[in-house]
Structure 1
Amino acid sequence: MAPLRTQQLAERMAELARATAAPRSVEQVLEDVTSTARELIPGADTVGVLLVAKGGTFESLAGTSELPHTLDEIQMKYNEGPCVQAALNEQILRTDDFRTEPRWSQYSAAAVEHGVLSGLSVKLYTAERTAGALNMFGSQPNAFDAEDETIGAVLAAHAAAAILASREGEQLKSAMSTRDRIGQAKGIIMERYGVDEVRAFEMLKQLSQDSNTKLADVAQRVIDTRSGT
């Protein structure tokens, strides 16, 4: 990679890392990633991120224009295309000219109709139940090269890390909320029945087992009975 492009990539990755340290949504982080890809990869006229869940649902995120979302919808309609394949299987997929691309005939024809001749898709390593890809599209043939693949891989790794960090944060918030609800329910039971904390927790667990209901949901029901809801 040319020294100038290497320096630009290093500077932008440092900026992205600093931005990620502040409280920001996944959408905001991904928007930074897609705009950076468009800035550093000359052939990328538009960029987006596709997330695909195991159930077949998908999210088209952080597009630098509406075109990536349109192309994602086309791929999900035909169940074929580089973004889907990169998200689910391949690490990097590059198309130099969709007019002669044999791998995804229906999608390729649609991409050409929308003025897209080149594509570069890089897998995001997100989570067990969700796959993803960073996708770049060019209006000219042969818009991407090996250096672009390297830059895309670096940016995709950053995007994947941001998604995983966000999910871990959401899981932590959920765990803390569950703990707080159980603690509040225990307090209500202790006051209502004159029992200690250990016995109150045992009563909650018994209710959970008898009703085949999650402990957190049982705790919420106890709280609701006190609030009159």
Structure 2
Amino acid sequence: MTQESGEVWEKFAVALADMARDLLAQDSVKATLDRIVDHASVLINGCDEAGILTVRRGEVSALAATSDVVRRADRIQQDLREGPCFDAVAEREQLYTIQDLRKPHAKWSHFAPELRKLGMGSMMGFLLFTEDDALGALNVYSRTPNMFDETAQQAGWILASHAAVAFSASRTHQQLAHALETRHEIGEAMGILMERHGLSEENAFSVLKKASQDHNIKLRDIARKVCETGDRPA
């Protein structure tokens, strides 16, 4: 490693540490994802645009994007059901690249020309994953062909690894907060039923649960209605 190369990686490491702190400071999953793509466009050499998508049961969902161009690229992958990021999630591959979108591409023969029409010259797709879960894929785009060399690929992979951890932590935090909020509402609704309708704790919960099952409505929503009206569920 040359001195110049070492200095570049040292600066990248410092910037990556700043990114990690920034991601942990976000107050929602959406804000975390938005910051991930913003950091990718700055920290990965040659990156002009970035986005995050996920594939569930063959359906592509765009989670974050730096521009409408990225959103259109995501829709193209959805419509054609092909593309490096689609494959990164579907096949659990950690990295896919298209170095030159001007040339025919055997694997993504339909997707590559459409992306070129959007003004893109090359792209990379990184799987966002942790030990327990595959979360989605980070898309990195450049308007210039052959922009993403080995250094850019390594930087993108490192950034994606840190981003996946922050994404997973943010999602877990949100799920926990949601669960605690749900528990609080259910407890409050049970208290209302016990006080106003003379039910025991066990019977109050049974009433909420049965109403949820009979009407196919989430237990939390039943509890919220009881909190708002004070009425016993039908």
TM class, shorter-length: 0.7 to 0.9
Say yes or no: does 1:36 pair with 2:74.
Answer: no
Residue 8 (structure 2) aligns with: 5
Q: 1:76 aligns with which of 52, 61, 78?
A: 78
- Residue of 59, 64, 71 corresponding to 2:62: 59
What amino acid maps onto 1:32 in structure 2? R
CA distance in 2, matches of 1:200, 1:228: 9
CA apart distance, 1:85: 1.1
Distance 1:217 1:110, change over 3 A: closer
SS in structure 2 of the partner of residue 105 of structure 1: coil
Contact 2:30–2:64 (CA under 8 A) maintained in structure 1: yes
Secondary structure of 2:230 counterpart: helix
- 2:165 match: 161
What is the alpha-carbon distance in structure 1 between the residues aligned to residue 63 and residue 209 of structure 2?
A: 41
What is the CA-CA distance between 1:134 and the residue it aligns to? Answer: 1.2
- State the Cα deviation string for residues 22-65 of structure 1 (Å, max 9, x = none): 243334333333233333333222222222233514115132x3
Q: Is the 8 A contact 1:54 1:129 kept in 2?
A: no
- Residue 228 of structure 1 and its aligned partner are, at CA, apart by 9.8
Residue 88 (structure 2) pairs with residue 86 (structure 1): yes
Is 1:24 the equivalent of 2:21? Answer: no
Closer, same or farther: CA 228–114 of 1 in aligned 2, 3 Å: same
SS in 2 for 1:76: helix
Distance 1:209 1:106 in 2: 47
> Percent identity among equivalent residues?
37
Corresponding residue SS for 1:135: strand
Q: State the distance in 2 between where 1:164 and 1:185 align.
A: 31
Q: Distance in 2 between matches of 1:127 and 1:76?
A: 26
- Can you give the 5+ residue segments of structure 1 that lack an aligned partner in the other structure? none
Counting only pairs closer than 5 Å after superposition, residues 213-228 of structure 1 correspond to structure 2 as 215-226=219-230
Q: Return the alpha-carbon distance in structure 2 between the equivalents of residues 186 and 101 of structure 1.
A: 61
TM-score scaled to structure 2, two decimals? 0.81
SS of 1:100's partner is coil
Unaligned runs of 5+ in 2: none
Aligned length: 228
CA distance in 2, matches of 1:220, 1:41: 46
